[in-house]
């Protein structure tokens, strides 16, 4: 696993702009080398701000040859305003020339599997296959140190499955579908993005090497690169 790189910005806007520019450059570089590229999206205020900045930036990236996945999803009906997919489409995907067949959302609670998050998780695991490898996986960090929908000392943080149903989340909505940390660690690059003073303590703990069972974000590492994009407030206590 890669050692973390920490990049600090003056404020959330500067972070979003810089992360978007770096993401477009990285995706374009990989696409030129391989012919296609894969990215895993995240939700939350910072994650969606980055997607808006990607849309505003423009680039030479061929969106028709980008495979899009999600790290986790709120298990809500299709089109619900709180679904990460809904927000990502509004911020970016509805405005670029993605191939619909290469966009892979997690099933909604009113989809083909009905109100069964375990079936939705199993279907996504089947889509990914035995050893999925993503080029760039984007993550947020919660104020208690969660990433994806993997919360401290929860069943998900102990799971060795690739995708799990998550119930009784400590923040709403309580039911979700999520990649696990072992799946995240298959990604070539893992980028964790966080803003605000409320994230300072868990980020300091994660960068200090606490166990992932206590701070799941500590267990998110890429095989070649792990980058923390932080604003000054979030980085205030980082070692």
- pLDDT tens, residue by residue, 138-191: 999 999 999 999 999 999 999 999 999 999 999 899 999 999 999 999 999 999
- pLDDT (tens, 9 = 90+) of the chain, 239 residues, equals 789 999 999 999 999 999 999 999 999 999 999 999 999 999 999 999 999 999 999 888 999 999 999 999 999 999 999 999 999 999 999 999 999 999 999 999 999 999 999 999 999 999 999 989 999 999 999 999 999 999 999 999 999 999 999 999 998 999 999 999 999 999 999 999 999 999 999 999 999 999 999 999 999 999 999 999 999 999 999 98
- Other C-beta atoms within 10 Å of 5: how many? 11
* pLDDT of the residue at 176: 98
Q: Which CATH architecture has domain 4-134+143-209+227-231?
A: 3-Layer(aba) Sandwich (3.40)
* 164 class by beta-carbon count within 10 Å (0-12 exposed, 13-18 middle, 19+ buried): buried
pLDDT at 59: 85
The residue ranges of every structural domain in the chain are 4-134+143-209+227-231
Element (H, E) at 113: none
**DSSP 8-class letter at 159:** -
Instruction: Characterize the bridge pairing of strands 176-179 and 72-74.
Output: antiparallel
pTM for this structure?
0.97
**Do residues 203 and 141 touch, judged by C-beta distance below 8 A?**
yes
Q: Residue 78: which residues within 8 A CB-CB, separation 6 or more?
A: 108, 110, 111
């Amino acid at each position: 696993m890669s050692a973390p790189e920490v990049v600090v910005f003056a404020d959330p806007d500067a972070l979003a702009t810089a992360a978007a520019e770096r993401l477009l450059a990285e995706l374009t570089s990989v696409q030129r080398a391989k012919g296609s590229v894969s990215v895993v999206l995240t939700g939350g205020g910072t994650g969606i701000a980055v997607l808006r900045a990607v849309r505003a930036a423009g680039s030479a990236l061929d969106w028709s040859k980008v495979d899009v996945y999600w790290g986790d999803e709120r298990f809500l009906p299709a089109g619900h305003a709180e679904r990460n997919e809904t927000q990502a489409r509004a911020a970016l995907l509805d405005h670029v020339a993605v191939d619909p067949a290469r966009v892979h959302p997690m099933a909604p609670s009113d989809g083909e599997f009905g109100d069964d998050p375990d079936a939705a998780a199993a279907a996504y695991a089947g889509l990914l296959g035995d050893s999925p490898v993503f080029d760039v996986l984007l993550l947020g960090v919660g104020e208690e140190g969660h990433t994806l929908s993997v919360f401290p000392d929860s069943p998900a943080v102990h799971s060795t499955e690739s995708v799990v149903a998550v119930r009784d989340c400590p923040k709403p909505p309580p039911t979700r579908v999520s990649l696990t940390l072992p799946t995240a660690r298959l990604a070539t690059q893992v980028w964790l993005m966080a803003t605000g003073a409320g994230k300072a303590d868990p980020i300091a703990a994660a960068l200090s090497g606490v166990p992932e069972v206590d701070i799941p974000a500590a267990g998110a590492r890429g095989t070649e690169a792990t980058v923390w994009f932080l604003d000054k407030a979030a980085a205030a206590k980082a070692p």
